[in-house]
Amino acid sequence: MVNQLSRSIVLIGMMGAGKSSVGRCLHRRTGLALRDTDEIVAASFGMPISEIFPKFGEQRFRQAETDALRSLPTTERAIIVTGGGIVVRNENIEILKRLGVIVWLDGDEEMLFARASRKRNRPLLQTKNPRKCFSEILGVRRPLYANIADVQVDTSLLTDEEVAVAILVKLGRMNPKLESPIPATAL
């Protein structure tokens, strides 16, 4: 078995799960590079995600998201933050698995929605009934997240730092016999 702490950490989960913030905490704690598929896509279009959806449509965004995943080197150890919809394309799943250990940030639905709607920049929630829409999307995606996750963390009652520590502890425990390359002070 591969020591999970010697691999890249790939964060997946619904909008509002805290992937970007937790990614930054993990980056600070481990010193690993931070990669974010949403940032790569936004840079490739030269505009924020909130403008890409209305201008080019979701399919163009999804293709750019797959291209962004493909552009990540499998040889680099990194913290990889993904967009909430990364699991909807089958071809992304194999790429994600090759990239590293997959950590699913989940949580209570109400809490996820409250966090996701705090910033008004999520294109998929620009509908008449964002709450209903969120629930439908989550219903479709939860089994997809569950299917590919190596580790799941319930973020409902935790701060971003606590989630980061929970991840490092869980990954370390997946093979306690091997020495962790991440210093104990990072935990």
Nearer to ligand S3P, 57 or 181 (CB): 57
Nearer to ligand S3P, 49 or 69 (CB): 49
Nearer to ligand S3P, 5 or 25 (CB): 25
Min separation Cβ 51 and ligand S3P, Å: 11
Min separation Cβ 6 and ligand S3P, Å: 26
Number of residues that bind ligand S3P (CB under 6 A): 11
Residue 102 · residue 12 · CB < 8 Å: yes
Distance CA 33, CA 30 (A): 9
Single out the residue of 8, 38, 42, 99 in contact with ligand S3P (rule: CB under 6 A). Answer: 38
Distance CA 180, CA 56 (A): 44
**Three state DSSP letters for 80-99:** EECCCCHHHCHHHHHHHHHH
- The tokens describing 14, both together, are 């619904």
Nearer to ligand S3P, 5 or 12 (CB): 12
- Which x/- pattern over 91-130 shows residues binding ligand S3P (rule: CB under 6 A)? -------------------------------xxx------
Q: Could you say whether residue 83 binds ligand S3P (CB under 6 A)?
A: yes
Distance CA 183, CA 74 (A): 23
From the list 77-85, 99-107, 154-162, 170-178, the region that binds ligand S3P by CB under 6 A is 77-85
Q: What is the CA radius of gyration of the chain?
A: 16
Closest residue by Cα to residue 134 from 149, 150, 148, 122: 122
Distance CA 179, CA 173 (A): 11
Q: List interacting residues with ligand S3P (CB under 6 A).
A: 15, 19-20, 38, 49, 83-85, 122-124
